Amino acid sequence: MQLVERHVIKRADPRFASLDPAAFASKNLYNAANYVVRQAFIGEGVWLDCHELDRRMQGHEAYQALPAKVAQWVLRLLDQNWQNCFAARSAWQADPSRFLGCPRLSGYKDTVKGRNLLVYTAQALSAPALRRGRIVPSRLNITVRRQQQRVQQVGIIPGGGFYVVDSISEREPVPEAVNPALRAGCDSGLNNLATLASDKPGFVPAIVNRRPVETINQHYNKRRVELQSHLGEDTYMSRRLERLITGRARRIDHYPHTASRRLIDRLMAEGIGMLVIGKNPLWKREVLPGRRTNQSVVSVPMRASLSCLPTRRRWWVSRSSLPRRVTPARPAFSTLIRCQSMRQRGPRRPSVAGP
C-alpha cells in the first residue's frame, strides 16, 4: 500500500523560485526528446525507446541542467506517453466506436508557460536529511518537512501558480476483522453523492448529501464570470482566477475523501467485508449543457467520488456497471493522501445520514 504526503508550495514561498527553473528545464528536455522521437517515427518509421533516448540526449543542455536520475525519469515518462498512444491506436483500430477520433501522437508542451513533472527517487534525495525528517532534492535549494518514516520517491507537480510536492512511501496493509459474506451496495444519484445499503440485518442505510458540492460549483461559476469580465481582449487568465480554480479543485477533492472516510469507517464498525459500487459508463456523454445541468451533474466528479471509497483500506470491492453486470470481486489497494500545506477554509463537512 502506498502513502502519499502532499505539500503545496505557492508562488509567494521562497522555495518556488528554486522549483520553477527545474520544472522549466524538465519541459525543455521533454520537448527536445519528443522532437527526436517524432522525427524518427514519422520520417524513418522507427520508435526510439527511453534507453536510446537517454543515450542521444545526454549531451543536451536541458539534460545536463537536471540530475541524471531526474532527467532519466523525464525520458521514461515520455516513453510511457508514446506507449499509451500506441495502445490507444490499437484499441481504436479494433473498435473505433469507443473513441471520438483517431488518437494523436504525443504533442509538445508550451514553450513559454509550459512546465513538466519532476521525479526524484531515493538516490536523488539527501540521505542525511531523510534521517532528520527532511526532504532535500538533489541540486534544489529547498527543504520540505515530512512525517513518513521511509520515502521511496518524491514527485514535484507543477500547477497554476503553485507546485505540489508528493512524498511517496510503501507500507504493508493491515487486514481488518470483517466478514466477506456481508455485502454493502453504494450508488450515486442526482441529489445524493452516495447512498449506502447492506444486506446485514439491522443495518441502517446512509446517505451523503451532494448539495454542498453543487454550492461550491455555483459559487465558482458566478465568481469566474465576474473575474473574466474584468480581463482584456487577449487575456484569458489572471492570478485571481488561478486562486479561484485551485480553491474550487481542492474543495471538490476534499469533500468525497472526507465522505468516503466516514462511510468506510461505518462499514468497518459493522464488520461488512464486501462493497459493491454501481456505475453507469458514459452517463454524462449525452447530457445537454446548461446552467443548472453543469452545476448539478456535469461539474460533479462522480467517478472520482466513488473511486475514493475503496481507497481507504484494503477492501474487497466489486464494481457493477448497470444494468445487472457485476464483475468479480477483487482486492483494491489505495493511496492515503495527507494534506499538509493545503489547509484553508473549505466546505462544510459531509453530512452522512444514519446513526
**Which of 82-86, 245-249, 337-341 is the least confident region?**
337-341
Domain identity same for 100 and 197: no
Domain identity same for 148 and 197: no
User: What CA–CA distance (Å, rounded) separates 29 from 70?
Assistant: 11
pLDDT above 90: residue 308? no
User: What CA–CA distance (Å, rounded) separates 24 from 114?
Assistant: 7
Q: What average pLDDT does this structure show over 344-355?
A: 45
Q: Are 300 and 259 in contact (CB under 8 A)?
A: no
User: What CA–CA distance (Å, rounded) separates 170 from 152?
Assistant: 7
Domain identity same for 332 and 247: yes
pLDDT above 90: residue 57? yes
pLDDT above 80: residue 310? no
Domain identity same for 138 and 238: no
Domain identity same for 185 and 87: no
- pLDDT interval class at 2 (50, 70, 90): confident
The model's pLDDT over 222-258, given as tens digits with 9 standing for 90+, comes to 899 899 888 888 888 888 898 898 888 888 888 888 8
Domain end marker among 170, 196, 224 = 170
Domain end marker among 170, 192, 214 = 170
Q: What global pTM score does this model have?
A: 0.75
- The residue among 236 and 80 whose pLDDT is bigger is 80
User: What CA–CA distance (Å, rounded) separates 40 from 204?
Assistant: 62
Residue 125: strand pairing partners? 137
Count: domains in the chain:
2
pLDDT above 90: residue 302? no
- What is the predicted pLDDT for the residue at 303? 64
206-232: b or e for each residue (b if 16 or more CB lie within 10 Å)? Answer: bbbbbebbbebbbbbeeeeeeeeeeee
pLDDT above 60: residue 318? no
Q: Mean pLDDT score of the chain, rounded to an integer?
A: 80
Domain identity same for 163 and 224: no
For residue 153, give its domain range: 2-170
Domain identity same for 233 and 286: yes
- pLDDT interval class at 146 (50, 70, 90): confident
pLDDT above 70: residue 305? no
Residues contacting residue 90 through CB under 8 Å, at least 6 positions apart: none
Domain end marker among 170, 187, 206 = 170
The model's pLDDT over 91-107, given as tens digits with 9 standing for 90+, comes to 999 999 888 889 999 89
Q: CA-CA-CA-CA torsion for 181, 185, 186, 192, nearest 10 degrees?
A: -140
**Which of 17-31, 102-116, 159-173 is the least confident region?**
159-173
- What is the predicted pLDDT for the residue at 340? 29
Domain identity same for 133 and 272: no
Domain identity same for 166 and 189: no
Domain identity same for 332 and 194: yes
